[in-house]
Structures are given as C-alpha cells and as structure tokens.
Amino acid sequence: MAEYDLVIRGGTVVTGTDTLRADLGIRAGRIAAVGERLEGAAQLDAGGLLVLPGGVDTHCHIEQLQEGGGADEETWESGSRACLAGGTTSVVSFSTQFKGAGILAPLAEYRFRAQQAMVDYGFHQIITDASDEVIWQQIPQVVEQGVRSLKVFLTYDPLHLDDRGFLRVLAAARRAGALVTVHCENYAAINWRTEALLAAGRTAPKYHAWARPRMVEREATHRAIALAELVDQPIQVFHVSCSEVAEEIARAQARGLKVWGETCPQYFTLTAGDMDRPGFEGAKFMCSPAPRDAADAEALWGEVRRGTLDVVSSDHSGWSYAGPRGKRVNGVEAPFRDIPNGVPGLTARLPILFSEGVGKGRIDINTFVRITATNPARLFGLYPRKGAIAPGFDADLVLWDPAKEMTLTNGLMQHVMDYTPYEGMRVTGWPVATLRRGAVVMRDGVVQAEPGSGQYLARGPYDMIRPRGVLPDGFDASVFA
Ligand code: DUC
Ligand code: ZN
Ligand code: ZN
C-alpha cells in the first residue's frame, strides 16, 4: 500500500518563512511529509506552480441575519464557492445580535445555516447590546461553543456600543478568554457630519467618504486601544484604511500591548474617487471605513511590511448592486446614509494581494502567505491546524500559477453578487487548484465540493490572546463589572 493517499509533486512550497522545492505527502486529509521523491496512491503535478497554504479569511460576512428577517444574499453555498475559486479554504464569519435580544438563538441559527458550507468555518460573535444576561451568562456559553472572538462596532446604527458597553464586552472577553475585534469609527462625529452634509444637499455616494474622514477612524482606534489597555484585554482593529490609524496601533504595539491590525484589499486598490463615478455607480465602492487615496494605499503596504498590519481579510459583504437587499434597495436617488455599506471580495483577495503585493515588489511571497493564511490562523486560534504547510496541518492547499494573467470579472468571482468593484482589473497570478483537507475542491475554476462538506472550527483557548497581566494599580475590575 502506498505510504500517502496523495503526493503533490514538483511544486515550490511556500510557507510564512520559507520557499523550497519539495513534494508533499498527504495522508487522511493532513500533510504527512514534506520531502523529495515521495510516492502516493495518487499524484498531482505541481511543476511550475507555487504550493501555498489555503487562504484563511477571518473577516467576511456570509449569510448574515438581517433585522426583520432573512439574511445576506451571499449564502454559505455561494460564499464557499467564491472562497474556493479564489484559494481560500477557511473563514471566520459572524453571528450577530439584535438589540434587546440574546446571542444564543442567533448562533444556533448561524450554525444551522453554515451546515451548507464547503469551506471550514468559525464565527465571531457580534455584541450590539451589552445586557447583564449577555455579558455574564451568554458570552461564556458562546465561547464554550468555540466562538473565541467577539466583535464590537463603535459606530453604525443600530449596531454601535457606547464606551460603557464596549468596556463591558472587553471585560467579559477577558473573563472568558476571547479576543475582541473592533470596528473603529466615531459614531457621534459621523452622525454630526452626515446631518450637515444632508442639510447642505450633498447626498451622492461620494459624500460617504466626506462623512467619515480619517480622524474619525483614528480617534476611535485610539480610544479602543486605551480602553483595551484599561481592561488588559487583547484586541484586533478591523479594516485599517490609512497610516494615521496604523500609527496608533504601532504605538500600542511598541509599548507591548496586545493590539493587532487588519486591513483589506479594497484599501490597497479603491479610492474615494471611485465613489464619484457617474450616476449611482459610486455606491458599488462604498464601504466603511471609506477608501482613501492612492498615497494612503501605498502607505498601507509599508505598514504591512513593518508588521503593524499583519492580517489582510476581505470584509466581504453580501450586498449586491441591484438585488432585493442591495445597494439600490432605497432607490438610485437614496442619500449616501441609506445605502448599504460594504464590498464583496472573497475570491479577489488572494489574486489582488499577490499581484499588487508580490508581483509589484511591495512584499515578498512569504509575507503574502503570512498575511493571508498564517497570521489570521494564529491570531484566531486555528493554528497549528490551519495556515501553514508542515506535517500535522490540514492539507488545505492552493496550487498557484504565478505567471497567469487574468482580467477580473464578476463571472470569475463565483459569488452570488451581481458585481465586483474590481471589474476590469488586470492581475498576474491565479489559483489553478484548491485542496481542502487533501481533496481537490477546485480545479481550473470549477468548484467540485459538496455543500455540507465544510467543517465547523470550534476554537479552544490559546496563549496568543492571553491578557498580559498588566493592570492599572493592579486592580482587575473585570472580576466585578
Ligand atoms: N464595513 C463593515 O464594518 N462591515 C461590513 C461592510 C463594511 O463596509
Ligand atoms: Zn467593520
Ligand atoms: Zn465587516
């Protein structure tokens, strides 16, 4: 009997630290060997290709429940197809909370819906209402179910938490041993500017960016870090759009705080100018924080090289353009305030980062692997199962053609959305096959997985997110409030 079920032969294996010519031996869905001249029951020729760890996307909204019933248009089945087409094999999506309600029933519903997934998946728990019941009873229960990260919005109606609510979530996370991820923008400042812009008749999509300039993001990031330090609770700042915000994070990191920063492909590629396209087209590029300008995008690459921003996720948002819940839900004259925020990006994430990052010499290939797979897996407790190529890891792999030139189109994205903000963008480098736990689930753009074949990733305790044990006056307020 052959020693391995499958051998991937002749490729260039890339990890977060190394690049080497090697065969991979896969047994029972896991990597069993990295070596030379391995023999298996089946072979896959990777000559001329890179062999990368499957992408890990730790910020994507898939089939998220909507207040008043129903869910995002992107379903677990369509979202998984998009992931696999783009080389992503694991995601952490969201279970949300509606104000006045608890978090246990929505999580049960998400877990039920996600049984259609074809990628492996976990959840962050969004907290929008820091009631006693949720804080003291329910958060420990969702963490017990393997949801080891909580998500807080410091802006958005009706999602946002005020500082007291945020502190209570930080404290609850500290008690339960969970990470907190934070959407950092100043709620009152955005509302004040929005009110003024609308009063001045400035309602078009481009004013979305005017309503939320960089200082509202910087202020909220600074505040989130200070409150996290007060509680001694590790946080990740989501979707950093510019270097002023990254500088807040860098200062915290330099002081030894457990603060991590994430950004997304849209902040490297889109600008506020895209929201000024003719008619209502600009709505296709609206996300929050708002895309800034080309110099900001270039500066973000520097923050990635320095390691201030060490995870790049999609923040894939399940709003179409013309669909029933899409950007045009309130009509094409809708003021920017009433247009759903977010852009799709599950499939485009790796090709854009490879092409713009590695292809244009801004980052090396190992950094590409770290920001798209290894670092998110480590930070969110999926390591040492996901995010690397080494014996014992799941055989989640992408065979990547570094020379393949493609023009991005919505059809290539394979999501359910009716548009991509990257339509017409030229990229070099493309996934030609995706393997999930040793099985080929995408080949030449054809996804061949079964709905329901994804596995739930229950996340247990891990060291990286343990509080530092440094508290003002040595007093742990989280025990009491
Ligand atoms: N911003 C978010 O915070 N979430 C989803 C979409 C967006 O633009
Ligand atoms: Zn957000
Ligand atoms: Zn988001």
Residues flanking ion ligand 2, Cβ below 5 Å: 183, 238
Decide the pairing of beta strands 439-443 and 397-407: unpaired
CA distance 422 to 230: 41
Q: What is the mean pLDDT of residues 145-168?
A: 97
Q: Whose CA is nearest to atom 2 of ligand 1?
A: 288
- Which residue, among 3, 11, 20, 25, has the nearest Cα to 433 in the 3D structure? 11
Q: What is the pLDDT of residue 443?
A: 98
Interval between CA 392 and ligand 3 midpoint (Å)? 31
- Cα–ligand 1 centroid distance for 315 (angstroms): 7
Judge if the beta carbon of residue 194 lies within 6 A of ligand 1: no
Residues ≥6 apart with Cβ < 8 Å to 68:
none
Diameter of the chain measured on Cα atoms: 76
CA atoms within a 13 Å half-sphere pointing along the CA-CB vector of 383: 21
Where along the chain do its domains lie?
Answer: 55-372
Place 390 in a pLDDT band, splitting at 50, 70 and 90: very high
User: Which residue in this structure is represented by tokens 């508290």?
Assistant: 471
With a 6 A CB cut-off, is 341 part of the ligand 1 pocket? yes
Residue 244, classified by CB atoms within 10 Å of its CB into exposed (0-12), middle (13-18) or buried (19+), is: middle
Q: Judge: domain 55-372, CATH 3.20.20.140.
A: yes
- Distance between Cα 343 and ligand 1 center (Å): 8
Regarding the beta carbon of 452 and ligand 1, being less than 6 Å apart is answered no
Confidence (pLDDT) at 107: 98
61 lines ligand 1 (CB under 6 A): yes
| Among 58, 469, 481, residue whose Cα is nearest residue 257 | 469
Going by C-alpha positions, the residue among 252, 176, 224 that lies closest to residue 478 is: 176
* Contact present, 361 and 18 (Cβ < 8 Å): no
Ligand 1: residue whose CA is nearest its atom 1: 288
Distance in Å, CA 28 to ligand 1 centroid: 38
Distance CA 429, CA 472 (A): 49
Query: Which of 51, 17, 49, 47 has the alpha carbon at shortest distance from 34?
Result: 51
Q: pTM surpassing 0.75?
A: yes
Confidence of residue 306 (pLDDT cuts 50, 70, 90): very high
218-264 per-position pLDDT tens digit: 999 999 999 999 999 999 999 999 999 999 999 999 999 999 999 99
What pLDDT is stored for residue 146 in this prediction?
98
Separation of CA 232 and ligand 1 centre (Å): 26
143: helix, strand or coil: helix
Report pLDDT digits (tens) over 77-121.
Answer: 999 999 999 999 999 999 999 999 999 999 999 999 999 999 999
Length of the chain as a residue count: 481
How far apart CA 421 and CA 59 sit, in angstroms, is 18
Which residue of 266, 287, 343 sits with most ligand 1 atoms within 8 Å of its CB, as the best mutation to test the pocket?
287
Mean pLDDT throughout 427-432? Answer: 99
User: Given this model, what pLDDT does residue 318 score?
Assistant: 82
84-123 per-residue burial string, b: 16 or more CB within 10 A, e: under 16: bbbbbbbbbbbbbbbeeebbbebbeebbebbebbbbbbbb
Across residues 276-296, what is the average pLDDT?
A: 98
pLDDT of residue 68: 85
- By the 8 A CB rule, do 357 and 301 touch? yes
